Structure 1
Amino acid sequence: MSTSFDLFGTLVDAPRPEAPATAVADALAAAGVRVPDDWTAAYRQPHADHAPGMERSLSAHVADALESRGVEAPSDTVRAATLAAFETPVQRRPGAAAAVEAAAERGPVAVLSNCSVPGLAERALSQAGLADRFDAVVTSVGCGWRKPHANAFQAVADALDAPPETLVHIGDDPEADGGITAVGGRAVLLTETPLQAVPAALDDA
Structure 2
Amino acid sequence: MALSFDLFGTLVTADRPDAPWDAVADALADRGVTVPDDWEDAYRCSHREYERGREAPLPEHVRLALASRGVDASDRVARAAVLDAFDTPVRVRPDAEAAVAAARERGPVAVCSNCSVPGLVGRTLDRTSLGPFDAVVTSVDCGWRKPHRESFVATADALGVALADLVHVGDDARTDGGAGRAGARSVLLDETPLATVASRCREGSL
Query: Fold-level match, TM-score > 0.5?
Result: yes
Deviations 1:126-151 (A, max 9, x none): 11222x32011000101111111101
Query: Aligned residues, how many?
Result: 204
What is the RMSD of the two structures over their aligned residues, measured on CA atoms?
Answer: 1.0
Q: For residue 189 of structure 1, what is the aligned residue in structure 2?
A: 188
TM-score (norm 1): 0.96
Instruction: Tell me if the contact between 2:148 and 2:182 (Cα under 8 Å) persists in the aligned partners.
Output: no
Gaps of 5+ in 2: none
Matches within 5 A, 1:1-205: 1-130=1-130, 132-202=131-201, 203-205=204-206
Secondary structure (helix, strand or coil) at the match of 1:13 reads strand
Deviations 1:100-134 (A, max 9, x none): 1111111111000000000111111111222x320
Which amino acid is the alignment partner of residue 48 of structure 1?
Answer: R
Deviations 1:170-193 (A, max 9, x none): 000011111111122211111111
Secondary structure (helix, strand or coil) at the match of 2:34 reads coil
Q: CA deviation at 1:74?
A: 2.1
Instruction: Tell me if the contact between 1:115 and 1:121 (Cα under 8 Å) persists in the aligned partners.
Output: yes
Q: 1: distance between equivalents of 2:67 and 2:183?
A: 43
Q: 2: distance between equivalents of 1:192 and 1:135?
A: 26
Instruction: Tell me if the contact between 2:114 and 2:139 (Cα under 8 Å) persists in the aligned partners.
Output: yes
Instruction: Tell me if the contact between 1:100 and 1:133 (Cα under 8 Å) persists in the aligned partners.
Output: no
Q: CA deviation at 1:204?
A: 1.4
Secondary structure (helix, strand or coil) at the match of 1:60 reads helix
Which amino acid is the alignment partner of residue 107 of structure 1?
Answer: G
Deviations 1:68-90 (A, max 9, x none): 11111222111100000111101
Runs of 4+ residues over 3 Å off in structure 1: none
Instruction: Tell me if the contact between 1:166 and 1:184 (Cα under 8 Å) persists in the aligned partners.
Output: no
Q: 2: distance between equivalents of 1:168 and 1:94?
A: 20
Instruction: Tell me if the contact between 1:170 and 1:189 (Cα under 8 Å) persists in the aligned partners.
Output: yes
Instruction: Tell me if the contact between 1:157 and 1:164 (Cα under 8 Å) persists in the aligned partners.
Output: yes
Gaps of 5+ in 1: none
Q: 2: distance between equivalents of 1:163 and 1:182?
A: 15
Secondary structure (helix, strand or coil) at the match of 1:168 reads strand
The percent identity for this pair of structures is 59
